[in-house]
Amino acid sequence: MEEGKNKGTKANVLGKVSGLKVTAKKRALHVSFKGVKRATKYEVAYSTNKKFKTKKRVTTKGTKVILKKLKPKKAYYVKVRAFIVSGGKKNYGTYGKTVAKRV
């Protein structure tokens, strides 16, 4: 198989992120989750829209992140996915479950 043409093979498949926990603090959400084997980074997506029509994303190397400067008395939806950076390209896993939390 040629280099870079193995997209969709088991070598590139990442599992779903599990164990997502979201706690609300003063205008912030503390997000933690379990790591995925072989993942180099994680993308945390959050939105006030349940279908994530307008979402913001934060990238982290660890399994914890704090989302700051959020609007008070609003419900936020949070989901996480893992990805690998190889050869300058990002190979994403699928998103785990979505958690809703009011700030």
- Taken in order of first residue, the domains within the chain and their CATH numbers are 10-102 (2.60.40.10)
Residue 21: per-residue pLDDT: 97
- Rounded-to-integer distance, Cα 5 and Cα 88, Å: 14
Q: What is the pLDDT of residue 86?
A: 87
Distance CA 20, CA 8 (A): 26
pLDDT of residue 11: 53
Mark out the alpha helices in 46-103 (DSSP H runs).
Answer: none
Q: What is the pLDDT along the chain (103 residues), one digit of tens a residue?
A: 444 454 555 555 788 999 999 999 999 999 999 999 999 999 999 999 999 999 999 999 999 999 999 999 999 999 999 999 988 899 999 999 999 999 9
Place of tokens 């603090």: 25
On whether the CB atoms of residues 13 and 93 are closer than 8 A, the answer is yes
